[in-house]
């Protein structure tokens, strides 16, 4: 029977991923060695690493440097209960295969984004502010004549795992037109996804809601700049559940302060914003503290996915 170890940021996270008594791993035909590893440098951690053929990792797992891997001679597989596992191996990982549960984490981000798309098109956040201010009857046909989710256009930036998951969820709303920008998307892929491929400037100009799902790469830092923000129609909403660095923070703040456009920001740059940031108090901004990704009960889905991957490996090998 193969032996595996768990190396994540804390015992609490391990419990959220796999259950307080590791219930998610109970039926896996493999044997867990050692306690949860929150560091990889101590003698105890090295003894555990020396026995492990598989390592279950997650958020805040220390990097698996060449020095660490020297103490893991039997390690053949890393299963990462998080997004992409590439950053775990700064010195490479010869002889070790790695997988992740990024698709499981993409789903709650897509669900959050879908909810915000629908609420933004209904002008829900402005309606809430208006009702709170007036505390009286609101004539919705007078105040929200252009609101709603019928015949509206949603712009999705990036055909990443999260972007594709959102597009799939949007299929349930056939009266929403979906535009997609991704420089690597083929026309065949766009047709299969049921989206209209467009340039980024066109997407920004045509969409009532723009939702960002691009990874942080040298070419995507500051991707959404002042010029692109200026293209957004008056009253349009920008949703960011990707990373704050994708947007020019100064340009976005300047646009939002005018009240011309709206934003739903689950990520910012920096994160969190300084206490003095005007974005906390702007009525046209919804700020949430990076909750779109897996949290609470959703962490168990990532753990279950990692456990299923481990079970497949244990039964059939790499």
One-character DSSP codes across 80-108: EESS--GGG-TT--TT-EEEE-HHHHHHH
One-character DSSP codes across 282-314: -TTEEE-SS-SSS-TTHHHHHHHHHHHHHHHHH
Residues facing 77 on adjacent strands: 54, 97
Is residue 80 part of the annotated active site? The answer reads: no
Through-space distance between the first and last CA atoms of the chain, rounded to whole angstroms: 14
Helix, strand or coil, per DSSP, at residue 74: coil
Token duo for residue 224:
């959404």
Catalytic hit among 71, 188, 213, 290: 290
Is the bond preceding residue 272 a cis peptide, omega within 30 degrees? Answer: yes
> Catalytic residues, which ones?
290
């Amino acid at each position: 029977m193969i032996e595996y170890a768990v190396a994540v940021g804390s015992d609490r996270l391990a419990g959220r991923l796999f259950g307080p008594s590791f219930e998610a791993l109970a039926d896996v035909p493999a044997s867990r060695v050692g306690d949860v590893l929150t560091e990889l440098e101590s003698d105890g951690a090295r003894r555990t690493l020396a026995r492990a053929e598989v390592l279950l990792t997650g958020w805040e797992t220390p990097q698996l440097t060449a020095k660490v891997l020297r103490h893991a001679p039997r390690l053949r597989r890393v299963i990462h209960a998080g997004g992409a596992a590439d950053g775990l191996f700064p010195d490479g990982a010869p002889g070790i295969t790695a997988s992740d549960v990024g698709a499981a984490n993409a789903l709650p981000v897509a669900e959050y984004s879908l909810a915000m798309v629908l609420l933004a098109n209904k002008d829900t956040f402005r309606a809430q502010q208006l009702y709170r201010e007036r505390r009286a009857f609101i004539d919705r046909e007078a105040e929200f004549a252009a609101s709603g989710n019928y015949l509206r256009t949603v712009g999705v930036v990036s055909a990443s795992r999260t972007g594709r998951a959102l597009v799939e969820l949007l299929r349930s709303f056939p009266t929403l037109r979906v535009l997609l920008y991704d420089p690597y998307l083929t026309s065949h892929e766009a047709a299969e996804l049921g989206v209209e491929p467009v340039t980024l400037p066109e997407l920004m100009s045509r969409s009532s809601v723009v939702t960002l799902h691009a990874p942080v790469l040298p070419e995507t830092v500051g991707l959404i700049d002042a010029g692109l923000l200026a293209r957004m129609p008056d009253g349009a909403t920008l949703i960011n559940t990707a990373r704050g660095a994708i947007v020019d923070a100064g340009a976005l703040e300047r646009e939002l302060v005018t009240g011309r456009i709206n934003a739903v920001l689950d990520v910012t740059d920096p994160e969190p914003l300084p206490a003095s940031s005007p974005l906390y108090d702007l009525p046209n901004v919804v700020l949430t503290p990076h909750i779109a990704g897996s949290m609470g009960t959703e962490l168990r889905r990532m753990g279950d996915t990692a456990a299923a991957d481990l079970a497949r490996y244990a039964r059939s090998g790499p």
